[in-house]
Amino acid sequence: MSSRTLMSALRGAFLISALAAVLFPLTWVTLASFKTPQQLNDPSLIVFQPSLINWSYVFEAGILQAAGRSAFVAGITVLISAIVGSAAAYVISTYKAGGSATRFGILAAQVLPPAVLVFPFLTLAYVLRVNDTLIPLIFAHLSFVLPVVTWFLIGFFDSVPRSLEEQARVDGFTRFKAFLLVVLPQVYPGLGAAVIFGFTLSWNDMFYGLILTPSKSAILPVAIAGFNTFRGVELGSMSAAILVAVVPVVIASFFIQKRLVQGISGGAVKY
Amino acid sequence: MLLPLLAVSGVAVGLPLAYAFYLSLTNFSLTQQGPAGFVGVDNYQGSLTNEGLWSAIGTTATYVVIAVTLETILGLLIALSLQKQKWARDITRSMLLAPMFITPIAVGLTFRFLLNDQLGAIPYLLDGVGISYDFLGTGNALLTLALIDVWQWTPFMVLLLLAGLESIPKQPMEAARVDGAGALYIFRRITLPLLVPILSVAILLRSLDALKVFEYVYATTRGGPGTETETIQYFTYQTGIQFFRLGEASSMAFILLAIVLPLIIILFRRLDRAK
């Protein structure tokens, strides 16, 4: 066997083990969600009569309502971020509006530790009597989704040729119309990726949810964590709840993976 | 057109940031009646001499170094393998990247389940080959948490490094190969140096994110055994939410901010230069 075939065999084996490492926990949780509590006692059990007991339990426990609240918060957050973010990203990319201070602020806000902002949100929510509602949570999520979406879009506006807009202006478009009808459509793929990515970030956040909406308006990640503490550990129903949170975003992620790099790096890396 | 952004982020970031700074100068507590008293830099003095905070900073630093180092090495190996892969490219990539899109609390709880000593698959499999290892026990728990981070976030490294590998020019490698250079030599002397800009950005982004670790701790150890796995974010959460000392917690958050600010500045410079 030549060293080249040996190398490619090793590479194949390495990738297969990486895939196994990724898929094993997910498969395990999926299996567990269909097991009865008795069946869960036997970790070796792979083939069994599937039961829907855990699924009906999590639906009764209100997992869909929690998922609905998460989707609502993520939807509003991402809608505001997309509108505000695309306008800002366009002028930052095209006219260097706001200078490097603005771009630094956008980057810093993305990576700001949530521990810094969460306590003001909590106290302000108490003062304004909107504690344990979704309103402070939407603002909290805007604090990181908006900068991420804006940053993301700067990377895409950067790759739109300036001549396109100049041509539109020559053709008699106002500056705003040229943006809306000529430049913006060029970044629709990037905007789509930014929207899905921003939605995922909001959907996945637990820290703000845990502190701002701990009980009656609990969002999905907080609801999942609830299966861990109440009435002991209910592994089967916890597994079903985990899948409710995981499956939609993982499927959505398949559509944006290719555009993610250009967005995360703010256009520094093209793919 | 920049105005809406400035307005929304003023309300969502600027205002709470300023308010947090004000809180950090008061003895504000959720349980206390009446207005908070102004205490100046007392909270900062208290926090800076708080051994718990320093121990949490040390724990977090250890966690970040272990996790990000492993993620960089594994991510680079996987990206190099994927780059040369010929069959089933898209599906392999999609599946390998999946973990980074999962909500971290779900990942934490999944591993808590997998590592459970009676019901979990991993201790069961290890038992089959005669190994008994207490994943969340004294001395092991922090490493286990870092490995959970590796499971979830190596894909992020793969994503960025693969893009980096595919965007660097091919000619220098070809020329070196024609001149008879070995694969390892080409990697060390040509590929790796060309990859440094994106590699450093990936490491910085990942470190800044790993610093915020909270969900894995919340799902598995809750800071234990003892205070072994108390990370900064978890420690601040406890001070603010379980003990209601918001003024003190806010001062800790600003100390954390002072620590990460240099990293953010370096990241910004790197990204600017890459453009």
**Cβ of residue B194 closer than 8 Å to a chain A Cβ:** no
A17 and A109 together in one domain: no
Residue A220, in any domain of the structure: yes
Q: Which of B129, B125, B131, B107 is nearest to B217 (CA)?
A: B107
- Token match 């985990």: residue? A242
- CA dist., res. A242 & res. A264, Å (int): 26
Band the pLDDT of A270: cuts 50, 70, 90: low
A16 and A98 together in one domain: no
A115 and A243 together in one domain: yes
Query: Percent of chain B beyond pLDDT 70?
Result: 98
CB contact under 8 A, A265 and B160: yes
Given this model, what pLDDT does residue A241 score?
93
Could you write out the DSSP letters of every residue in B116-143? Answer: -TTT-HHHHHHHHTT----TTSTTTHHH
Q: How confident is the model over A238-257, as pLDDT tens digits?
A: 999 999 999 999 999 888 88
Q: What is the mean pLDDT of chain A?
A: 89
Is the model's pLDDT at A210 over the cut of 70?
Answer: yes
Least confident of A230-234, B49-53, B136-140: A230-234
A66 and A22 together in one domain: no
- Token match 């893009």: residue? B163
- CA dist., res. B51 & res. B55, Å (int): 6
CB contact under 8 A, A146 and B105: no
Output the CA–CA distances (angstroms, integers) from residue A125 to A139, A213, B51, B85, in the order listed.
11, 10, 31, 52
Average pLDDT over residues A9-15: 91
Comparison of pLDDT for B167 and B34, the residue scoring more: B167
Residue A177: which CATH number?
1.10.3720.10
Band the pLDDT of A144: cuts 50, 70, 90: very high
**Cβ of residue B246 closer than 8 Å to a chain A Cβ:** yes
CA distance B263 to chain A (A): 10
Contact indicator for A244, A63 with CB cutoff of 8 Å: yes
Residues 113-132 of B with CB under 8 A from A: 113-114, 116, 118-121, 124
CA distance B165 to chain A (A): 10
A141 and A245 together in one domain: yes
Q: How confident is the model over A28-47, as pLDDT tens digits?
A: 999 989 988 888 877 777 77
Please count the other Cβ atoms lying within 10 Å of the Cβ belonging to residue B11.
13
Query: Using a CB-CB distance cutoff of 8 angstroms, which residues of chain B are in contact with residue A124?
Result: 16, 19
**Cβ of residue B267 closer than 8 Å to a chain A Cβ:** yes
Burial (CB < 10 A; 0-12, 13-18, 19+), residue B134, is middle
Residue A173, in any domain of the structure: yes
Half-sphere exposure of A253 (CA within 13 A, CB side): 25
Residue B176, in any domain of the structure: yes
Q: Which of B229, B204, B244, B178 is nearest to B29 (CA)?
A: B244
Given this model, what pLDDT does residue A135 score?
93
Closest chain A residue to the Cα of B36, Cα to Cα: A123
Structure tokens, B54: 């320093």
Residue B66, in any domain of the structure: yes
- CA dist., res. B162 & res. B114, Å (int): 30
Average pLDDT over residues B38-67: 91
Alpha carbon A51 to its chain's center = 31
CB contact under 8 A, B102 and A204: yes
Residue B78, in any domain of the structure: yes
Residue B96, in any domain of the structure: yes
Enclosing domain of residue B84 = 57-224
Residue A57, in any domain of the structure: no
Enclosing domain of residue A221 = 62-264
Query: Using a CB-CB distance cutoff of 8 angstroms, which residues of chain A are in contact with residue B17?
Result: 116-117, 120
Query: Percent of chain A beyond pLDDT 90?
Result: 51
Residue A99, in any domain of the structure: yes
A155 and A112 together in one domain: yes
Is the model's pLDDT at A271 over the cut of 60?
Answer: no
Query: Using a CB-CB distance cutoff of 8 angstroms, which residues of chain B are in contact with residue A142?
Result: 8-9, 12
Please count the other Cβ atoms lying within 10 Å of the Cβ belonging to residue B13.
23
Query: Using a CB-CB distance cutoff of 8 angstroms, which residues of chain A are in contact with residue B78?
Result: 14-15, 18
E strand segments, chain A: none
Average pLDDT over residues B135-160: 94
A24 and A131 together in one domain: no
Q: How confident is the model over A72-98, as pLDDT tens digits?
A: 999 999 999 999 999 999 999 988 888
A19 and A79 together in one domain: no
- Token match 């999962």: residue? B102
The residues, any chain, with a CB within 8 Å of residue A236's CB and separated by 6 or more, are A32, A33, A35, A36, A37, A40, A53, A54, A57
Residue A55, in any domain of the structure: no
A95 and A147 together in one domain: yes
- Token match 């390998």: residue? B96
Average pLDDT over residues A97-125: 89
Given this model, what pLDDT does residue B124 score?
87
Q: Which of B30, B234, B101, B68 is nearest to A260 (CA)?
A: B101
A105 and A213 together in one domain: yes
Residue B234, in any domain of the structure: no
**Cβ of residue B223 closer than 8 Å to a chain A Cβ:** no
What is the number of structural domains in chain B? 1
Among A77-81, B160-164, B176-180, B195-199, the range with the most confident prediction by mean pLDDT is A77-81
Is the model's pLDDT at A60 over the cut of 70?
Answer: yes
Quote the longest CA-to-CA distance of chain A: 74
Residue B22, in any domain of the structure: no
Q: Which of A18, A25, A264, A10 is nearest to B205 (CA)?
A: A264
Counted across chains A and B, CB pairs separated by less than 8 A come out at: 272
Please count the other Cβ atoms lying within 10 Å of the Cβ belonging to residue B109.
28
SS (HEC) of A110-156: HHCCHHHHHHHHHHHHHHCCCCCCHHHHHHHHHHHHHHHHHHHHHHH
Is the model's pLDDT at A51 over the cut of 70?
Answer: yes
CB contact under 8 A, A22 and B98: yes
Residue A53, in any domain of the structure: no
A101 and A19 together in one domain: no
Is the model's pLDDT at A232 over the cut of 70?
Answer: no
Half-sphere exposure of A14 (CA within 13 A, CB side): 17
Residue B108, in any domain of the structure: yes
Band the pLDDT of B59: cuts 50, 70, 90: very high
Residue B181, in any domain of the structure: yes
Query: Using a CB-CB distance cutoff of 8 angstroms, which residues of chain B are in contact with residue A254?
Result: 94
Given this model, what pLDDT does residue B131 score?
87
Residue B124: which CATH number?
1.10.3720.10
**Cβ of residue B70 closer than 8 Å to a chain A Cβ:** no
Q: How confident is the model over B68-94, as pLDDT tens digits?
A: 999 999 999 999 999 888 888 888 988
What is the number of structural domains in chain A? 2
Query: Using a CB-CB distance cutoff of 8 angstroms, which residues of chain A are in contact with residue B23?
Result: 119-120, 123
Residue A48, in any domain of the structure: no
- CA dist., res. A87 & res. B222, Å (int): 42
A9 and A124 together in one domain: no
Q: How confident is the model over B187-243, as pLDDT tens digits?
A: 888 889 989 988 998 999 999 999 999 999 999 999 889 899 999 999 999 988 888
Is the model's pLDDT at B31 over the cut of 80?
Answer: no
Contact indicator for A111, A151 with CB cutoff of 8 Å: no
Is the model's pLDDT at A231 over the cut of 70?
Answer: no
- What is the model's pTM? 0.92
Q: What is the mean pLDDT of chain B?
A: 89
Output the CA–CA distances (angstroms, integers) from residue B225 to A173, B56, B99, B136, in the order listed.
66, 13, 27, 8
